Structure 1
Amino acid sequence: MYKQAGVMGGQALLARWAAIGVAVLLCAPWLVPSSKVYHQLLAVLLWLPALCSLGYAAFRSHLASPDLWLYVAFAAWTLLILIVRGSEEPVSDAKVVAYVTLSLLGFLLAARAGDASVERLLIFGVLLGGVGAGLSWLHFYVLEQNPFSSRLTALGIWDTVIMAAHAVGALAVVGLAMVVGRPWRLAWLLPAGVAAIGYLAFLLSSQTRGVWLALLASLMVILVSVPRWIGLTVLFGLLLAVAAVAIYDVQMLMQRGLSYRLELWGGGLQLIAENTWFGIGFHEFKLTVPGLTNQFKHPHNLFIDTGVRLGVGGLLIFCVLWLLCLWRAWQARDSALGRALLALWLFATVSLMTDGIGLWRKPNADWLITWLPIALGLLLARRNADYASSDRPRS
């Protein structure tokens, strides 16, 4: 009896420990001085409790789901490609697979910290993210006095324009999907309003049209699920924002054209055709555009990049995993987390098709549009299994 109580207490402690780690994953990039510190915090607060939890049979049995087995197949294929095709830094690249795996396990572990624990962590991350986005805008344009034509980057370690816009956009759509149509407490209006203004200012000033298109796609799904007056209000606000940008500088909407995306995608597809089944592995490659002296390190499309590196086999496994994530979101579309994942999946898919740079990288801003959707899909799959087992009649 005492032993069983100790086991349960140990699992509860690990779950709360991992919940702190999830909060760090979502919130620390605004605050930490370097990526190295960020990764060290994740190692202690997220990956370590996830690793320790594997010592408990109850948690291991909790992991059984087709979704997780599909991810394991994808990770195994990635390691196979790493062995067969090689890499400039094979040990470092193999570690990234371990980091991702432990992060996904950490999310599943954090969900055991209490009812709706992940939802509360997401809301906390969204509110802090809105404040961080607003402070980034003030720091960049007011304190540093950069011209408004300059593209905004974030405070902290999200200091790349496109990747910062990905992360901020992901937090914005998750927050909006989780709160629309729900009753509001008066105490939440001020922080929610501050966060909304911060997100709007940041995403407009990032001048990242792929993100704007992704936001439009995800917002269409969100607006369908709310009362008509709310949807019309949000839509009217978006039209005002676009009009304001057009009045201020219409070239902001038109500049840079397609940024050679079609040529880069064609070059990536050619590499897939030349290395069909096993790809080129983790070696660096260059793509050229006729008429340009510059060379590009990736095709600006995560799905094509995955095919280039892991071959058609790896691309197919990933696409099935990605579509299964969409299916989990659709099944749970009546819940706040289901709507959030559905909106995030659409935002991520459009963003990754226009600006995705790669899957297997150390924790960075793009994790919020690559591994966060998969983590939430795994969580919803686990909840579905729990509901099914609780409804099953006992013999």
Structure 2
Amino acid sequence: MNSAGGYISQTYIWCLFPGLISFFIDLHRNGLAASIRGMTAGEKLIALMLLWIQVHPLLVSEGIDIGTVFNRVIKIAAYLYVVRTVVIHCKRPERLLLLAAGVATFFAAFTLIYQFGVLDRPLGVRALGIDGYRVDKLGLGNFTEGLSNPILAALYYGSFATILCGYMAVKPFYWQRRMPMIIAIVMLGVFILLTGSRGPLIAFVAMAGMSLLLCRYTWKWKAIFLLSVMAAISLIWLHDDILLQIDRVLADGFNCRFPIWEQAVNAISQKPVIGYGAFSDFKATCAGVTFEHPHNMMVNLLYHWGLPALAFYIAILGYILLTMKQLKPSSVRTIAIVLMVFGFVGMLTDTYSFLVRPNLQWLLYFLPISLYSGEYRKQLMATE
């Protein structure tokens, strides 16, 4: 399908529309007051954040109108409800995630084979200063044409590597059973490396570290010690190369991120509490290029919706981290946590607007919090 709008329409028809019908049925059965009382603290935080975004146009003169904001907010709310409901009522919801990860791995592998094998693109590892082709889309017909940016491609495929890591962390480890997943994770990790995207690569490492911390293997502390020793040896061995890469990163302002953030913070300082409004104009210049978004989710929230939006954003993530020990270890719980870590770190250096139609932000932020919300409610219902 050679149309981003076509993909979005499919999401509305097959995901959000049935979700809205289910929501109104539940609302009719339980009543509004009972539904609100049944919400967890995390769900109430999410609701308050969306409510703030909804009423925000009444407080600012810039940005899109309140009707357009409602159109976006209701779709995000429907998506959160659908994922939450699937987790609650599906016996093994992680199987759906694993299926999606399997499909994504196939396309990642196919892309690497086609780009570097068939088209014979030059290999390069930007993280080590080796220039080469930065892979993103497949480049064959209209498949994966939406991934027309190496950073977005790295974040997209990295989220599926995260799902696999989260699943492996909570399940018993048997080499023969887990080998296909290990190969898939390595394949997706190589894809991220060959995109030349440093932010997603850091997010991938952070996610892998969190997965290792959450895993239930008896040998995990030995693995952490061994990896720490290997990292220390690598730092010593590649000392000069690492310093050279740090100098290169600082010389271009982390690929213009530092100048963009500086200009964004200067603008935010004039309206720190309220912000400028959803989709209000943002302009930052660096190296003769004009950038139209801050390339950082927290800065994005501050610029467009002010301090309350950022406070809710951090509070929701903090709530997950503070309550995760209250839940029994499960695949969905662990996947949600590591996906949240990957998304948070990944969106520190590149992201678009928070209030978007079905897009990467749904995968990196709304999916993990709705997965966690559903699992929290599911385990709570099991104890009642």
Q: Same fold (TM over 0.5)?
A: yes
Find the counterpart in structure 1 of residue 91 from structure 2. Answer: 115
Contact 1:207/1:252 (<8 A) preserved: no
Unaligned 5+ segments in structure 1 are 1-31, 391-395
CA distance in 1: counterparts of 2:149 and 2:370, whole angstroms: 24
Per-residue displacement from partner, 1:141-177 (whole Å, max 9, x unpaired)?
2333332212111341233211221121121122112
Aligned pairs for 1:14-25 within 5 A: none
Q: Percent identity?
A: 19
Cα shift at 1:93:
4.1
Cα shift at 1:351:
1.3
| Aligned counterpart in structure 2 of residue 341 of structure 1, from 322, 328, 336 | 336
| 2:165 is equivalent to residue 176 of structure 1 | yes
| Aligned counterpart in structure 2 of residue 284 of structure 1, from 278, 281, 289 | 281
Per-residue displacement from partner, 1:353-391 (whole Å, max 9, x unpaired)?
222333111112232212112212221331243144x2x
Tell which deviates more after alignment, 164-173 or 259-268.
259-268
Find the counterpart in structure 2 of residue 12 from structure 1. Answer: none
CA distance in 2: counterparts of 1:327 and 1:103, whole angstroms: 24
CA distance in 2: counterparts of 1:262 and 1:284, whole angstroms: 19
Seen in structure 2, the aligned counterparts of structure 1 residues 253 and 139 have a Cα distance that, compared at 3 Å, is farther
Residue aligned with 1:259, SS: helix
Tell which deviates more after alignment, 292-301 or 326-335.
326-335
Find the counterpart in structure 2 of residue 36 from structure 1. Answer: 5
Higher RCO (C-alpha 8 Å, min separation 6):
2
| 2:197 is equivalent to residue 222 of structure 1 | no
Find the counterpart in structure 1 of residue 108 from structure 2. Answer: 133
| 2:104 is equivalent to residue 95 of structure 1 | no
Cα shift at 1:181:
5.8
Cα shift at 1:306:
0.2
Unaligned 5+ segments in structure 2 are 124-131, 139-143
What RMSD in Å do the two structures reach over aligned CA positions?
Answer: 3.2
Paired letter, 1:154: K
Contact 1:268/1:287 (<8 A) preserved: yes
CA distance in 2: counterparts of 1:262 and 1:126, whole angstroms: 33
Find the counterpart in structure 1 of residue 362 from structure 2. Answer: 367
Paired letter, 2:23: L
CA distance in 2: counterparts of 1:279 and 1:232, whole angstroms: 43
Paired letter, 2:103: L
Contact 1:265/1:304 (<8 A) preserved: yes
Cα shift at 1:279:
0.5
Paired letter, 2:133: S
Contact 2:87/2:375 (<8 A) preserved: no
TM-score if structure 2 supplies the norm length? Answer: 0.80
Cα shift at 1:250:
8.3
Paired letter, 2:219: R
Seen in structure 2, the aligned counterparts of structure 1 residues 381 and 334 have a Cα distance that, compared at 3 Å, is closer
Find the counterpart in structure 2 of residue 267 from structure 1. Answer: 263
Paired letter, 2:116: Y
Find the counterpart in structure 2 of residue 49 from structure 1. Answer: 18
Seen in structure 2, the aligned counterparts of structure 1 residues 93 and 143 have a Cα distance that, compared at 3 Å, is farther
Find the counterpart in structure 1 of residue 149 from structure 2. Answer: 160
| Aligned counterpart in structure 1 of residue 314 of structure 2, from 304, 316, 319 | 319
Paired letter, 2:353: G
Contact 2:158/2:189 (<8 A) preserved: no
Contact 1:128/1:195 (<8 A) preserved: no
Cα shift at 1:256:
4.7
Contact 1:301/1:355 (<8 A) preserved: yes
CA distance in 2: counterparts of 1:139 and 1:252, whole angstroms: 32
Seen in structure 2, the aligned counterparts of structure 1 residues 59 and 115 have a Cα distance that, compared at 3 Å, is farther
Residue aligned with 2:24, SS: coil
Find the counterpart in structure 2 of residue 64 from structure 1. Answer: 39
Seen in structure 2, the aligned counterparts of structure 1 residues 383 and 234 have a Cα distance that, compared at 3 Å, is farther
TM-score if structure 1 supplies the norm length? Answer: 0.78
CA distance in 1: counterparts of 2:265 and 2:18, whole angstroms: 40
Paired letter, 2:15: L
Cα shift at 1:288:
3.1
Contact 1:333/1:342 (<8 A) preserved: no
Per-residue displacement from partner, 1:188-236 (whole Å, max 9, x unpaired)?
5564255234212211101111112112222222223334279469949
CA distance in 1: counterparts of 2:56 and 2:72, whole angstroms: 14
Cα shift at 1:35:
1.7
Seen in structure 2, the aligned counterparts of structure 1 residues 39 and 188 have a Cα distance that, compared at 3 Å, is farther
Residue aligned with 1:366, SS: helix
Contact 2:88/2:377 (<8 A) preserved: no
Cα shift at 1:66:
2.2
Contact 2:63/2:276 (<8 A) preserved: no
